[in-house]
Structure 1
Amino acid sequence: MSDSTQVFLIIGLTLVAFIWGRFRYDLVALAALLVSTLVGLVPANEAFLGFGHPAVITVVAVLVLSRGFERSGLVDVIAEQTLKVGEQLVWQVLVLTGTVLVLSAVMNNVGALALMLPVAMRMARKHERSPSLLLMPLAFGSLLGGLTTLIGTPPNIIISSYRASQTGEAFGMFAFSPVGIGVALAGLGFIVLLGWRLSPQREGQSSADELFDTANYLVEVRVEEDSKARGWTLRDLHSELEETVPVLAVVRGETRHAAHDFMGSLKEDDILLLEAGPDEMKLLEDKAGLHLGAEPEGANDDDKENDVEERSAASDDEASSNAKAEREKERKRHLDPEGLQLVEAVVRNDSMMIHRTVTQLRLLNQHGLHLVAVARDGARLKQRLRDIRFRAGDVLLLQGDEGGLGESLATLGCLPLASRNLTIGQPRMLALSLGIFALAIVAMLLDWLPAAVALSTAALGSLLVGVLPLREAYQAIDGPVIVLLGAMLPVGHALDTSGGAALIADQLLAMGSDWPVVATLAGLFMLSMLLSNIINNAAAALLMAPIAASLAQGFSVSLDPFLMAVAVSASCAFLTPIGHQSNTLVMGPGGYQFSDYWKLGLPLSLVVMMTAIPMILWVWPL
């Protein structure tokens, strides 16, 4: 079997595994690298050189700098101004999408979306509007913004490094800007003027307020003298029912204890505030002896004494009625779900929760989080919580200690969707962060330092001056993306050295022998865009770059327009929720279905292509 046949087989199986999604893309990429090494396509002593490739180092530096921008307060300042937009939907779409577009130009586009997503949710709820009208334009805006600079998206960094390997000179920081800005503005104009109307409006379904309106699902059960659960802990209750019962609180007398903080045993007349449907209520009655109804037949001992004092102090029915009303009001205050430290969060593509259950994650014991409910595709899941295997884009309603919620969610790989509390960073840190970044850009523009060195130096400088703690810097590095890049770089190189890329290019040249070069360039653009919608955009760029180079060589024309076509098209995954993390992140909060994306994504893809091809040929002539 020839080398080219072997590499086609390996890449074909890799693409199938990417599309299947059963295994995470970093594991698939690593398996492809190791198999390529074992069959001799990649020399064993070069197998892991991809992890030290300038493209990988540049991506790491950009991720750290992006977190530094967030930490210094830059994004908070922008988000605070964004929230001041008026009630007109068109203006909201323009401001939100325009803001995330600008942010994506100088930071990781997934990071930019993650920062603006809570702002968009807050804006939608403030104006009682379905978030689905805002979130898809927001996600697509983050992709468009990444087109405009070298550091905006990994495909640009990959294409720049590939050009350096072919010509000895990489694309500069703003080499992508003429085409990228033109395409981004065309896409933004389409979204604002027409595109947002193609976003599905999930009235009452995608709104997390209505998805997780706990007041509509809460029931109150009382521990009675003969209840089996008397003397049990909440853990005993969960164990007996073989179910993660979403208990929110335990009310004892006048004190309400959040469930995740209640470590004692249940006593007579304790009230459990929980979410339960008919099946769960039957289990509670049969196995724990807990029944509906929070009020005991008579008041508890303390209340009885208070009642005697009240009756002796009040001689008429009105006073007694008032006292009863006050007691009822106090009871409702304790049973009010507000203040139970609930948080909504969406499961990210790289989350450790994917394909795992609550039990496997030990969510409560290890992370201090109590799962209350799960929504998927805009609808609340009705199955047992312990049986749910989490997917990327799931929206979770969690309860936990307020101080540790953020760290726990970050560890699990979840993005909080609660209203963002804007905390403006220190002005000195903001100025330092921007100053360090500006120096790195100047060093790149003047060719003092290559991009990887300049941005890595800026990232190190941010750590040394205290803009970002070291622990957060390591958390900011997206491990799966780094493994994907490091593993697929040698595989992509093997496609080139084995002659596989040349074979594909020869077939395309034969098919388009009677066509103008522009038609083949458009075909390459469409093929790369289609590929980016089913696999990671960085992987698409890695695989398409050698094919683009072979096409340029076959036509005896400049390499640059073909590489630029790959760079733009690989970053425009608008047709599916799996093509890019940004699309997946908004799927749950927006209540989108798989088929919703192409309704806005297809016309936007056409707008991008019709704008990009002429712009590329104008800026980078054949």
Structure 2
Amino acid sequence: MIEAIPFDVAPSTLAFIILGLTLGAFMWGRLRYDLVALCALLASVALGLVPADEAFTGFGHPAVITVAAVLVLSRGFERAGIVNLIAEQVLKAGNRLIVQLTVLVGTVVVLSGVMNNVGALALLLPVALRLAREHDTSPSLLLMPLAFGSLLGGLTTLIGTPPNIIIASYRGNLTGENFGLFSFSPVGVAVALAGLGFIVLVGWRLTPRRAGKASSADMFDTASYLAELKVSEDARANGLTLQQLRQEIDEAIPVLAVVRDDKRRAGYAFYGTLQPGDILLLEAAPEELKLLEDKVGLSVVSEPGEAGEDSAEEEKSSASGKKATSRGVNIEGLQLVEAVVRNDSMMSHRSVRQLRLHHQFGLHLVAVARDGTRLRQRLRDIRFQAGDVLLLQGSEREMKESLATLGCLPLANRELTFGQPRKMALSLGVFALAIGVMLLDLAPAAVALSGAAVVTLLAGVLPLRDGYQALDGPVIVLLGAMLPVGKALDSSGGAELIADALLQIGSQWPAVVTLTGLFVVSMLLSNVVNNAAAALLMAPIGASLANGLDASLDPFLMVVAVSASCAFLTPIGHQSNTLVLGPGGYRFGDYWKLGLPLSLVVMAVAIPVILWRWPL
């Protein structure tokens, strides 16, 4: 029951104002969606829409616990080597594009049904890039279908995607009985198969064919921009550490290596002082080379970097008129790695200096690519965006942890590692046991999957530290904060008002038309806000529509579940779409060309199957 409102305004009106501002902030994108959700929750409490003592009950909601458990189990599958074993088979797809698409998209569809769909994409993304590189295929033909396949696969089971978990719990609140693990399978499998067939046979032709950028050598062409600068006896750089050198020039120019006595040491591991005769291998634009010469006296040299290297000597003029070599320098052993910035990354809208990448994370930023094109502005002036691809240098031992903390997905050409057979069997066995418990109704999904996650941690399949890192904090906060806000939309009468308006508009139409309208509205919403938020907001509206039509609740909730995961039109609707934005060289307007017809295919298949399985 809603308490007294401190303003002479209807509760439903206040709910609409809060939701309107929340949706606007989601679309604006300058504030992270978890922070926006918390602000919406606190505003709802302040206005009396959510009782203060119930403000944070959402964080203990079964849907939130289930999502957290699935994230931990997904990381356990990766750690045990199960997914890498599958990836090895995917790499045998051959050089025919249709076969590559069938294997890649089919694999991500299956994996997304049993693990977090973003996690499934993250594991197969490097595999797709390697396939593209080995068979001279444009990665833009593979990556968007792969991302869309991860969304389709999530529809097939309860645990495949957060909207399914949310809808199942919402049904439980209304009827006392949740949707089961495979309740989503009839429509989910039909939609996934139809979507897979469309993508493989027709859809890939609607993706842009961009120049191949499947590796750092292609996207960044690192070796072609390296210069060698020598430390002379009278140079001011003489006696300085690399850190002091950076402070002297007030720039974030990364020194990739220091060559002394024909021995090369990676820049991130060089802590001594520079001496006369040292050669610095670094990447710098002409104006930066002039800066290094003027401020610290470093001079460009033209000798080959390492004995025995063939160097195709190309020249580029510096501001001083001197020539800097841009040769095919050997960069092996310099610990360069590519990583893509995730939607929830702490790097978003921040610069290198604000993040203190080198001091706090031990990483050197070498280059940044956006929309498949390398940025030429000064590194210190770049404010990172979701989807940016970064070329970083750092210690291999610390790289993984630093990237995880920053919220970046590594795209390095890693060797496939296969876990111990015992851990593989244990991980699969624990998961199968949890599924059995859920199917036999011995325990709710949240309890069964949480138990499986705990056993995975106790058995050592996944270290506790990795278990905490697997938790997608922003998604957990978004769910925990928006659940009470979504409930307020229902309890304030706002959802009923929206449903009444839709019923008046379509009063002369068959119920299936209203169902289609609900699908379209929910689908469009999911393309501008997080899909979990879309499901939370649309579920009460779907329930009110069912009540207004005196129809069964289930088909309306199923429509919301499917449509909330149809974020195929924009790169911002789902993390999977954003993750392939940079590596695929896509632009914002590329997504709808494949996404719109795919959305229509999904809707054309989903609604008849829903009505067959759950009649009105």
Inter-CA distance 519–454: structure 2 relative to 1 (3 Å threshold): same
Answer whether contact 2:130 2:214 (CA < 8 A) is retained.
no
Gaps in structure 2 of 5+ consecutive residues: 1-8, 312-326
Deviation at 1:159, TM superposition (A): 0.2
Deviation at 1:186, TM superposition (A): 0.2
1:44 counterpart residue number: 52
- Which deviates more, 66-75 or 235-244? 235-244
CA distance in 2, matches of 1:206, 1:77: 22
Inter-CA distance 327–166: structure 2 relative to 1 (3 Å threshold): closer
Deviation at 1:173, TM superposition (A): 0.2
1:436-447 mapped onto 2 (5 Å cutoff): 436-447=430-441
- Which deviates more, 337-346 or 169-178? 337-346
Answer whether contact 1:255 1:334 (CA < 8 A) is retained.
no
1:29 counterpart residue number: 37
Deviation at 1:206, TM superposition (A): 6.4
Structure 2 counterpart of 1:541, from 510, 527, 535: 535
Secondary structure of the residue aligned to 1:249 is strand
Secondary structure of the residue aligned to 1:371 is strand
Answer whether contact 1:119 1:420 (CA < 8 A) is retained.
no
2:521 counterpart residue number: 527
Secondary structure of the residue aligned to 1:84 is coil
Deviation at 1:117, TM superposition (A): 0.4
1:318-329 mapped onto 2 (5 Å cutoff): 328-329=307-308
Deviation at 1:131, TM superposition (A): 0.9
Inter-CA distance 335–510: structure 2 relative to 1 (3 Å threshold): closer
Deviation at 1:208, TM superposition (A): 3.7
Deviation at 1:226, TM superposition (A): 2.2
Answer whether contact 1:248 1:274 (CA < 8 A) is retained.
yes
1:395-434 mapped onto 2 (5 Å cutoff): 395-434=389-428
Inter-CA distance 327–239: structure 2 relative to 1 (3 Å threshold): closer
CA distance in 2, matches of 1:326, 1:593: 38
1:481 counterpart residue number: 475
Deviations 1:187-245 (CA, angstroms, capped at 9, x unpaired): 00000001111111111456543112211111111111222211222112211221101
Name the amino acid aligned to 1:184: A
1:146 counterpart residue number: 154
1:372-391 mapped onto 2 (5 Å cutoff): 372-391=366-385
Name the amino acid aligned to 1:600: L
Answer whether contact 1:163 1:170 (CA < 8 A) is retained.
yes
- Which deviates more, 282-291 or 584-593? 282-291
Answer whether contact 1:208 1:589 (CA < 8 A) is retained.
no
CA distance in 2, matches of 1:473, 1:275: 37
TM-score (norm 2): 0.94
CA distance in 2, matches of 1:530, 1:496: 21
Structure 2 counterpart of 1:237, from 241, 245, 255: 245
Secondary structure of the residue aligned to 2:582 is helix
Secondary structure of the residue aligned to 2:391 is strand
1:141-220 mapped onto 2 (5 Å cutoff): 141-204=149-212, 208-220=216-228
Answer whether contact 1:251 1:334 (CA < 8 A) is retained.
no
CA distance in 2, matches of 1:209, 1:181: 39
2:5 counterpart residue number: none
TM-score (norm 1): 0.93
Deviation at 1:329, TM superposition (A): 2.1
Gaps in structure 1 of 5+ consecutive residues: 296-324
CA distance in 2, matches of 1:590, 1:36: 40
CA distance in 1, matches of 2:183, 2:607: 16
Structure 2 counterpart of 1:518, from 512, 533, 552: 512
2:256 counterpart residue number: 248
Structure 1 counterpart of 2:272, from 260, 264, 277: 264
Deviation at 1:144, TM superposition (A): 0.1
Name the amino acid aligned to 2:286: P
Q: Percent identity?
A: 72
Answer whether contact 2:139 2:213 (CA < 8 A) is retained.
no
Deviations 1:340-391 (CA, angstroms, capped at 9, x unpaired): 1111111111111112111121111221111100101110011111111111
Answer whether contact 1:205 1:379 (CA < 8 A) is retained.
no
CA distance in 2, matches of 1:331, 1:247: 22
Name the amino acid aligned to 1:366: Q
1:600-615 mapped onto 2 (5 Å cutoff): 600-615=594-609
Answer whether contact 1:246 1:370 (CA < 8 A) is retained.
yes
Deviation at 1:149, TM superposition (A): 0.1
Structure number with larger C-alpha Rg: 1
1:60 counterpart residue number: 68
Name the amino acid aligned to 2:595: G
Deviation at 1:456, TM superposition (A): 0.8
Greater share of helix residues, 1 or 2?
1
Answer whether contact 1:577 1:587 (CA < 8 A) is retained.
yes
Deviation at 1:560, TM superposition (A): 0.2
Inter-CA distance 200–330: structure 2 relative to 1 (3 Å threshold): closer
Answer whether contact 2:136 2:212 (CA < 8 A) is retained.
no
2:576 counterpart residue number: 582
Inter-CA distance 205–418: structure 2 relative to 1 (3 Å threshold): closer
Structure 1 counterpart of 2:501, from 504, 507, 512: 507
Deviation at 1:246, TM superposition (A): 2.1
Deviations 1:243-301 (CA, angstroms, capped at 9, x unpaired): 10121111112111111111111111111111111111111111121121154xxxxxx
Secondary structure of the residue aligned to 1:590 is coil
Secondary structure of the residue aligned to 1:556 is coil
Secondary structure of the residue aligned to 1:597 is helix
1:311 counterpart residue number: none
Answer yes or no: is 1:130 the counterpart of 2:138: yes
Deviation at 1:516, TM superposition (A): 0.4
Deviation at 1:461, TM superposition (A): 1.3
2:611 counterpart residue number: 617
CA distance in 1, matches of 2:135, 2:82: 25
CA distance in 2, matches of 1:420, 1:276: 27
Inter-CA distance 258–559: structure 2 relative to 1 (3 Å threshold): same
Deviations 1:314-341 (CA, angstroms, capped at 9, x unpaired): xxxxxxxxxxx99842798995222211
1:320 counterpart residue number: none
Answer whether contact 2:139 2:212 (CA < 8 A) is retained.
no
Deviation at 1:45, TM superposition (A): 0.7
- Which deviates more, 48-57 or 384-393? 384-393
